Structure formats: structure tokens, C-alpha cells
Amino acid sequence: MADAIEESRYARFALRCSNFAERWFPDSWVFAALAVIIVAVATLGMGAAPTEAAKAFGDGFWSLIPFTMQMAFVVIGGYVVASSPPAVKLIDRLARIPKNGRSAVAWVALISMVASLLNWGLSLVFGGLLVRALARRTDLRMDYRAAGAAAYLGLGAVWALGLSSSAAQLQANPASLPPSILSITGMIPFTDTIFLWQSGVLLLALIVVSLIIAYATAPGPNSARDAKACGVDPAFNLPKPQPPTRPGE
């Protein structure tokens, strides 16, 4: 009885925090716009003319195109892999492993973090589809909100230590680095960043701590809200592949 009361209190507190964040936390675009304004004002305060600041912004924007394309292909590639028929079958098999709701949340966290070491775009889609697959299990009392949050742990905790790390990729590719940064740091290969043993120790620590938090903070069966209670339809059906109709296919 005491456990049920404690879970109910936690659920009400979590709901209040969620409602507050949805009401008051601004969109990410707001932070990007504020950053541009702050930098522009600081540039003018250092004596630059408005036309110089505008020209520097325009010229600098296009210098980021190679890096932007890399990140775009990370997301696109991750989605293509995670939504492919073999990956969907693997996700369905992985969804059969957890025995209770809390372990399911921790399982999502682990899979999401492991996948992000290969590709953070893959982690986002793969983790999301795994949550939906777990939500379809009628025998599992899993909190859909906690599982959805755990699916972001790959991008939120360990992605920068994986192969798709933006910082590591940027430093390892001179063509992607702005000349001003390249002249200071030079090229830094993966062997000096994500493949260092120190990075491995940090990676292991992050995974262990994240799993403990995911399991400990997941609502128990008495206060868990499943996908239906959250107004979400967890169904996911891939379109059936059609036979080729021309040689080009």
C-alpha cells in the first residue's frame, strides 16, 4: 500500500513537471535566434559595422555546409536502416526480452545507447520503434512516457563518444573545419578522441549511471501509463514491398 501511495505521488509530481515544461519551455529555434542576436550585438559592440557583421554571418553560414550534409546523412542513413524490414524484425525480437515495465524502460535505454555508438540517427529511430513494439505487448505494464524518454538516452548521454560524434567527425575531416579552427587545432583523428581508453572508461560509466537512473525513476505498475492512456497508437506496419516492374528497379 505504501509503495502504491509513493508511486502515485511521484506520478503527480512528474505530471506537473511535464505540464510546466510543455507550457513554458521554448522551441529550440528560439535559442538559436537568441544566440545569433547576442553574437551580432557583441560584434557591433566591438566596433564592427552592421554591414560587416551581416557579411560575416552570410559567408560563415556557407562554410558549414559540408558539416551540415554529414549530419543530414547521419539522420537519413539511421532512419533507412532502422525502418528496414530486417531491423523491424530485430526490434520485435528485442521487445520480447523484458519481463516487467521497469526493466523494459532500462532495456530501451541500453539499446538506444548501444545503437548511438554506431549512428545517433539510427539510435533515435531504432529506440522509438522499440518503444512502440514494447507498447504493443499486452502483458507488459510499461510506462510509455518513461520508455520514450529512455529512447533519447543514446542521443542525450553517449552519442558524442560514438562513430557519429559531430565533434570527432568534424576534427577528423579538415575539409569540414572552418579555416580559423583548423589553424588552431589541426586535424585530430579518431585515435586521439573516441578511441582513447579514457573515452572507453567514460562511456562505460555513462551507460551504467544512465541505466540505473532509467530503472530507478521508471514508474511502477501501479502508476505506469501505457500508450493508450497517453493517447498514442503504438501500431507500426511497414508497407509490403512490391515486386519490381522494370529493370531499373
Round to whole Å and give the CA distance between 145 and 147.
Answer: 5
d(CA 82, CA 21): 29
- Decide if pLDDT at 109 tops 90: yes
Which has more pLDDT, 147 or 11? Answer: 147
Mean pLDDT score, 144-161: 93
- Quick check: 6 pLDDT over 60? no
Cα gap 120→104, rounded to integer Å: 21
Q: What percent of the chain has pLDDT over 90?
A: 47
Q: How many Å apart are CA 187 and CA 183, to the nearest integer?
A: 9
Residues sharing a CB contact under 8 Å with residue 229, sequence separation 6 or more, in sequence order: 144
pLDDT-derived band of residue 34, with 50, 70 and 90 as boundaries? Answer: very high
Angle at CA of residue 68, ends 62 and 74, nearest 5°: 165
Task: Please tell me the predicted confidence (pLDDT) of residue 21.
Answer: 78
pLDDT tens digits along 154-200: 988 999 999 989 889 889 988 878 788 888 999 999 999 999 999 99
Q: Is the pLDDT of residue 149 over 90?
A: yes
pLDDT at residue 2 tops 60: no
pLDDT at 245 exceeding the cut of 90: no
70 pLDDT above the threshold of 60: yes
4, pLDDT greater than 60: no
Res 182: pLDDT: 87
Q: Are 105 and 143 in contact (CB under 8 A)?
A: yes
For residue 199 the three cell numbers come to 573515452
Residue 7 has pLDDT above 70, yes or no: no
- Evaluate whether 108 touches 134 at the Cβ level (below 8 Å): yes
In the chain, what are the domain boundaries? 1-63, 66-238
Q: Which of 3-17, 122-136, 157-171, 210-224 has the lowest mean pLDDT?
A: 3-17
Comparison of pLDDT for 40 and 249, the residue scoring more: 40
Of the given ranges (15-24, 56-65, 90-99, 102-111), which has the lowest mean pLDDT?
15-24
Please give the pLDDT value at position 152: 94
Identify the pLDDT of residue 1: 54
- Residue 5 clears pLDDT 60, i.e. is over it: no
Instruction: Write the burial class of residue 163 (CB in 10 Å: 0-12 exposed, 13-18 middle, 19+ buried).
Output: middle
* 15-19, 109-113, 115-119: least confident range: 15-19
Does residue 132 register a pLDDT over 80? yes
Residue 84 has pLDDT above 80, yes or no: yes
